[in-house]
Chains A and B, each alone.
Chain A
């Protein structure tokens, strides 16, 4: 299972939409992926533990260094295939390049 993390301000709408969309699309592409959706204020080295890809939505200003690959996932929110596809491709490339599983 590949572990990813996404975060938005309230932890209610945007992050859950990214979670649902990325999990569904990556399953379609043949990957076992689990995305956790949390509030930005809860992002810290502790919550990042075990995370293999970070999927920020709104270019958050973090007080610590993210040491795993980061892929800007905001475009997925539009629910338009043409906007989302490049994000999914980048996620798949990152999985392959880093041999994540």
Chain B
């Protein structure tokens, strides 16, 4: 029971986004401004988020998991720019170009972001590992439906029950 609560608390309904943005800069700006307004990140979060993504991209090529999956990215900053441990899901209605985390010379389109807020790198469970486990263990048809959803409510409740 307590495990379940600890896991689900990584998500908040009011920080699930469905974005119409057509560029990385725009989606980062609108989400970061809202996260700042809600007190989850510091003022310099957006600047650090952009700088880091330029230098150390976070795109994850999911075609190696399943050729049918869209690619995702896990933008994040250094711990000092965030105030808690949280995953911020962002559905991109328009796929946006990101570079590959494990091979930055590769570029591909991404349609879902798991923005990671992590103020505690030494913490018990690794947030990125939990995201990958969620992707690997969720049945393919369910995950495909999830990735296509443009309802923040549906995205939130799926993550609450499956993550």
The answer to whether A and B interact is: yes
A residues whose Cβ falls under 8 Å from a Cβ of B: 8-14, 16-17, 20-21, 37, 39-40, 57-59, 72, 74-75, 77-80, 83
Determine whether the beta carbon of B103 is less than 8 Å from that of A10. Answer: no
Instruction: Give the distance in Å from the alpha carbon of A17 to the alpha carbon of B76 in the complex.
Output: 14
Residue from the list A10, A78, A79 in contact with B77, Cβ < 8 A: A10
Residues of B within 8 A of A14 (CB): 101, 128
Residue from the list A20, A74, A83 in contact with B103, Cβ < 8 A: A74
- Tell whether B4 is near chain A: CB-to-CB under 8 Å: no
23 A-B pairs, CB-CB below 8 angstroms? A9-B55, A10-B56, A12-B79, A12-B118, A12-B121, A13-B76, A13-B116, A13-B121, A13-B126, A13-B128, A14-B101, A16-B121, A16-B122, A17-B129, A21-B129, A37-B121, A57-B101, A57-B102, A58-B101, A58-B102, A77-B101, A77-B128, A78-B132
- Tell whether B74 is near chain A: CB-to-CB under 8 Å: yes
B residues whose Cβ falls under 8 Å from a Cβ of A: 52, 55-58, 60, 64-65, 74, 76-79, 101-105, 116, 118, 121-122, 126-129, 132-133, 136
Q: How many A-B residue pairs have CB under 8 A?
A: 76
Instruction: Give the distance in Å from the alpha carbon of A72 to the alpha carbon of B105 in the complex.
Output: 15
Whole-angstrom distance between the Cβ of A74 and the nearest chain B Cβ:
3
**Dominant secondary structure at the B interface:** loop
Determine whether the beta carbon of B103 is less than 8 Å from that of A58. Answer: yes
Top-4 shortest CB links A-B: A9-B56, A74-B102, A79-B132, A13-B128
Residues of A within 8 A of B57 (CB): 58
Instruction: Give the distance in Å from the alpha carbon of A57 to the alpha carbon of B78 in the complex.
Output: 17
Instruction: Give the distance in Å from the alpha carbon of A16 to the alpha carbon of B130 in the complex.
Output: 13
Instruction: Give the distance in Å from the alpha carbon of A79 to the alpha carbon of B135 in the complex.
Output: 10
Q: Which residue of A lies closest to B121 (CB)?
A: A12
